[in-house]
Amino acid sequence: MFKLFLFFGVLFVNICNANEVLNIKIKSIDLSDLKYVSELCTQLGFPAKEASLKRRIELIKKYPTQIVLVAKTEKGNVVGWIHAYEAPSLLSDATVEIGGLVVDQKMRRHGVGKSLMNAVEQWAHARGFKEILLATRTDRLDAQAFYKAIGYVFVHTTHFLSKDLEKSVK
């Protein structure tokens, strides 16, 4: 169970579990969050050195059409992050897409993931977007159950391909 409060662009979330109420703040990422974000990237299956993450965050912050939000406890621990961006397209009206989402495994099933998605949905809605798109791997069954529970519907399965330009472009 959780409650959301919006205050000067920062969302305050009260997360209640059996024994306690946790005050979680959802706010834009900054470089002081790097250590936690790096650990959460590992939990997501994308380990990254802090130096690489720093470069990526600095790059993303140059684009006003992208956001990275973190969920922070009162002690300053980051317990989840989400990345979302505007995606203009020739095939459809522009949508907002989710680039990544992870909640600390010790803090799952307390509403943090839903709160992060809710914050992105509010951001997208305020910018005039009518739809959010996201992709999740076919073996991430927990994530699929989560997205379904918060109102996302399955569209189709697709293959994701890549090409290593270091090797192929001379």
Ligand X SMILES: CC(C)(COP(=O)(O)OP(=O)(O)OC[C@H]1O[C@@H](n2cnc3c(N)ncnc32)[C@H](O)[C@@H]1OP(=O)(O)O)[C@@H](O)C(=O)NCCC(=O)NCCS
Single out the residue of 90, 91, 126, 145 in contact with ligand X (rule: CB under 6 A).
145
Closer residue to ligand X in complex, CB, 57/144: 144
Single out the residue of 112, 119, 120, 124 in contact with ligand X (rule: CB under 6 A).
112
Name which of 4, 71, 75 is nearest 40 in CA terms: 71
Question: Quick check: 149 binds ligand X (CB under 6 A)?
Answer: yes
Beta carbon of residue 77, minimum distance to ligand X (angstroms, whole number)? 15
What the block records as the tokens of 28 is 């834009």
Question: Quick check: 73 binds ligand X (CB under 6 A)?
Answer: no
CA 124 to chain centre: 13
Q: Which residues bind ligand X (CB under 6 A)?
A: 44, 101-103, 108-114, 136, 140, 142-143, 145-146, 149-150
